[in-house]
Structure 1
Amino acid sequence: MQALDALPLSALRGRSSAKWRAYPEDVLPLFVAETDFPLAPAITDRLRAAVEIGDTGYTAPVSGVREAYAGFAGRRFGWHPDPGLMRTTCDVMMGVVEILRKVARPGDRVIVMPPVYPPFFDAVAEAGLVVDPVPLIDGENGPEMDLAGVDAALSAGARVVLLCHPHNPTGTVHGRKALQRLADLAAAHDAVVISDEIHAPLSQPDADFVPFLAASDTAAAVGFALVSASKAFNLAGLKCAIMVAATPDRFATLRSLPVEVEWRTGIFGVHAAVAAFTDSDDWLDGLLIRLDLNRRLLGDLLAEHLPLARYRIPPAGFLGWVDLSAYGWGDDPGRRILRDARVAFHFGPQFGAEGRGHVRINFGCDPEVLREAVARVGALARG
């Protein structure tokens, strides 16, 4: 199996997505979570066939995507969710908001674990709820959940835990025991866990990813999962996510959602997700090899050009969480880097107060692009 190669910059700059239109052409974009690789061939073929026959209408209630995901989860994670306990929607965060509205009352508190994906804060507010931050803590093997803090927040009245698993931006893959303990805490406090697992297909083989709903019978009883092909297969614009329950009681909540929640699923998103989940394992394996090489390359480049930076090789994903506090570039170093080095990283403070002094670097790109980006920032550091 060979590492997947990225498209050349000349081709990428022809894209109209946010990554390639947010900044002028002299800026190297390594911020938003889009990758620079060609689509998996099965996805391209499926979308081309749909366009050729004008299959661009409404998504059918029976689309095959739930069954496709169940097969994928069985092969990749050893988990066999029931397609009959799933519903689709537009994207993961829309699913989070709709579930929050069903399981909590206005004003209830929702635990999030910063530094965390910025839309988590917005989704809680959109649902009429209040963010209750319980930051990750430094563990023996990297960032981990503060389970004592979660217990205290639940004891004080928080009703929901919004879990990011694998975690964005740190790439943390929560272990089975931690997930089981989280589920036990939720059950003891009659709370709910909503697990965003959009980055799960990008877990490296040695990360031993365990879906939250598969961690224990208790986890199955207290939780929901949100999954999608969009991050691993670069399909964010096609709009298809799956809301997963593991018990009939939890599925009753999904079944009670307005029918329009499911009608928002994009038919191109379904076509692409089915192809991704059923016929693209080899492509995904090649991507994981490339990301493994790139995550290690990023560490080497930082050691060479920014030796005061703090970075932990992430077990999952294509995002590097880097602490640049030692360079004295303020709470939001990405702003200066953008202005003076013409490199766009994601601004750390957007991930919560814990992101001060940090940037998030998207290494889902050609190694030469990564080298150039870090070299530019290194030149800035050297003055």
Structure 2
Amino acid sequence: MSHADAIDVLRRRESEKWTAYPDDVLPLFVAEMDFALAPAIKAALASALDRSDTGYVNTLDTRTAQAFADFAHDRWGWRPRVESMGYATDVSTVIVEGLRRLIAPGDGVVITPPVYPPFWDFITEAGGVVVEVPMLDDGQSYGLDLDAIDRALAAGARAVLLCNPGNPTGTVHTRESLAELSRIVARHEASVISDEIHAPLVHSGGVFTPYLTVSDEARDHAIAAESGSKAFNLAGLKTAMFVAESERMTQLIRSLPEEVAVRAGLFGFIATREGFTKGRDWLDATVSAIESNLDLLGQQVADHLPGVRLRRGQATYLAWLDFSALGLGDDPAAWILEHAKVAFVGGPDFGSPGKGYARLNVACAPDTIVEAVGRIAAALASRG
């Protein structure tokens, strides 16, 4: 399994996770891993530094796109067409630039909270209007409310921004659900952008289904946003990919200004390529470590935080905790930060279904999870 760096090493990092709060706060908020880089990625980046290879990206270089296509074929049975792919700095750029070309100003875009908080901002940046269709929640699992999405599109929304797998819930949408979504979207002549950044982090026993594989309708009306940044902890290196299957969506990607791709990072190209080709064993070990940490978190919560519930998903290294029975208010993360010095992301950031919840990052050392739960338990015990 992958192992996290020591805390004193982590605190020398300059990334947001380790600089946003004072040293007395245990940071488990933003989606950055504490694990060391995959050896193949580290070696490739060191080699680039050794040859002072820090210039611009060559946007005609298809090796990074090919590496992703090979990974997708081997892991998911999907062979994306490299000639129908394009580069960007990150998934947010894929979403915003895609939406700008798929909707008109003022058009509605469906999102399904609880969902990644920047989705609201992406839609606004692209000129759209957010249309919230909350996930169905039976208390055990989450799923798309297809009937409500149908009604939203019938009322005038022109696109769906899909989180697949889901953040923060770790929901891995079924092929059947995605296929039905594609039929609904096609019936209303709308579009989909599928954010699949967490797809390589599906847990054992889970089956990820790329949206572009579920039907001819999906291939016609959708763009997928793909990246190695979550799987291999590369967010700061700035590389993601547009992926299309239809000629219509391929032309949309080709119509983008060259600068959309040029702004990507050369180190991101190198690291993404190495991750998808030579980092697969590291990725498998990392997913194993994440699952082990989720097991540990579940046990720690059961033993020390009665009334708190782990809503365990099938993907990502993000855990979704229900604190609503403890009376900590709509945003328990704020109380936890103040009283326990542990930084989570507040549930309300993910939309109204997140009230009473908090999201935490388990891509860390097991001892960190134990300490975080212990701090919260102690703070709760001293509430009076």
Name the TM tier (shorter chain): over 0.9
How far the C-alpha of 1:371 sits from its partner, in A, is 0.6
* 8 A Cα contact 1:332 1:347, kept in partner: yes
How far the C-alpha of 1:215 sits from its partner, in A, is 1.5
1:149 alignment counterpart: 148
Q: Tell me the alpha carbon deviations over residues 19-66 of structure 1, each in whole angstroms, 9 at most, x when there is no partner.
A: 000001111000000010000011001111111111111100233111
1:138 alignment counterpart: 137
Residues in 1 aligned to 2:174 and 2:168: alpha-carbon distance in whole angstroms: 17
1:57 alignment counterpart: 55
1:126 alignment counterpart: 125
2:189 alignment counterpart: 190
Residues in 1 aligned to 2:77 and 2:297: alpha-carbon distance in whole angstroms: 31
2:345 alignment counterpart: 346
2:201 alignment counterpart: 202
Runs of 4+ in 1 over 2 A off after TM superposition: none
Structure 1 residues 170-179 or 306-315, which shifts more?
A: 306-315
How far the C-alpha of 1:378 sits from its partner, in A, is 1.3
Residues in 2 aligned to 1:216 and 1:139: alpha-carbon distance in whole angstroms: 27
* 8 A Cα contact 1:295 1:314, kept in partner: no
Residues in 2 aligned to 1:42 and 1:213: alpha-carbon distance in whole angstroms: 30
Residue 26 of structure 1: which of 18, 24, 27 is its match? Answer: 24
Q: Tell me the alpha carbon deviations over residues 114-159 of structure 1, each in whole angstroms, 9 at most, x when there is no partner.
A: 1111110000010111000000011486100000110000010100
Residues in 1 aligned to 2:113 and 2:334: alpha-carbon distance in whole angstroms: 20
2:327 alignment counterpart: 328
SS at structure 2 position matched to 1:232: helix
1:290 alignment counterpart: 289
Structure 1 residues 305-314 or 80-89, which shifts more?
A: 305-314
How far the C-alpha of 1:205 sits from its partner, in A, is 2.8
1:319 alignment counterpart: 318
2:270 alignment counterpart: 271
* 8 A Cα contact 1:68 1:277, kept in partner: yes
Residues in 2 aligned to 1:164 and 1:237: alpha-carbon distance in whole angstroms: 21
SS at structure 2 position matched to 1:206: coil
2:223 alignment counterpart: 224
Q: Which amino acid aligns with 1:38?
A: A
Residues in 1 aligned to 2:345 and 2:114: alpha-carbon distance in whole angstroms: 12
1:8 alignment counterpart: 6
SS at structure 1 position matched to 2:344: strand
1:173 alignment counterpart: 172
* 8 A Cα contact 2:164 2:198, kept in partner: yes
1:39 alignment counterpart: 37
Residues 1:233 and 2:232 aligned together: yes
Residues in 1 aligned to 2:267 and 2:362: alpha-carbon distance in whole angstroms: 27
* 8 A Cα contact 1:296 1:313, kept in partner: no
How far the C-alpha of 1:310 sits from its partner, in A, is 2.1
SS at structure 1 position matched to 2:232: coil
Q: Tell me the alpha carbon deviations over residues 256-300 of structure 1, each in whole angstroms, 9 at most, x when there is no partner.
A: 111111111111100100000111111001001101111111111
1:48 alignment counterpart: 46
How far the C-alpha of 1:382 sits from its partner, in A, is 2.1
**Structure 1 residues 102 and 120, CA gap change in structure 2 (3 angstroms):** same
SS at structure 1 position matched to 2:162: strand
**Structure 1 residues 140 and 76, CA gap change in structure 2 (3 angstroms):** farther
| TM-score, normalised with respect to structure 2 | 0.98
SS at structure 2 position matched to 1:320: strand
User: CA RMSD, aligned part only?
Assistant: 1.0
Q: Tell me the alpha carbon deviations over residues 205-262 of structure 1, each in whole angstroms, 9 at most, x when there is no partner.
A: 3111111111222211121100100001100000000000011111111111111111
* 8 A Cα contact 1:124 1:131, kept in partner: yes
Q: Tell me the alpha carbon deviations over residues 343-363 of structure 1, each in whole angstroms, 9 at most, x when there is no partner.
A: 001111111111111100111
Residues in 1 aligned to 2:303 and 2:96: alpha-carbon distance in whole angstroms: 43
Residues 1:78 and 2:77 aligned together: yes
Residues in 2 aligned to 1:129 and 1:122: alpha-carbon distance in whole angstroms: 10
* 8 A Cα contact 2:72 2:78, kept in partner: yes
| TM-score, normalised with respect to structure 1 | 0.98
Residues in 2 aligned to 1:139 and 1:81: alpha-carbon distance in whole angstroms: 35
* 8 A Cα contact 2:140 2:311, kept in partner: no
Residues in 2 aligned to 1:22 and 1:295: alpha-carbon distance in whole angstroms: 25
* 8 A Cα contact 2:311 2:322, kept in partner: no
Residues in 2 aligned to 1:341 and 1:14: alpha-carbon distance in whole angstroms: 23
Residues in 1 aligned to 2:322 and 2:291: alpha-carbon distance in whole angstroms: 20
Gaps of 5+ in 1: none
Residues in 2 aligned to 1:216 and 1:190: alpha-carbon distance in whole angstroms: 15
Q: Tell me the alpha carbon deviations over residues 359-379 of structure 1, each in whole angstroms, 9 at most, x when there is no partner.
A: 001111000000100111112
Residues in 2 aligned to 1:321 and 1:351: alpha-carbon distance in whole angstroms: 11
Gaps of 5+ in 2: none
Q: Which amino acid aligns with 2:277?
A: T
Q: Tell me the alpha carbon deviations over residues 175-213 of structure 1, each in whole angstroms, 9 at most, x when there is no partner.
A: 000000000000000000100000000001311111111
Structure 1 residues 291-300 or 237-246, which shifts more?
A: 291-300
* 8 A Cα contact 1:165 1:200, kept in partner: yes
User: How many pairs are equivalent?
Assistant: 381
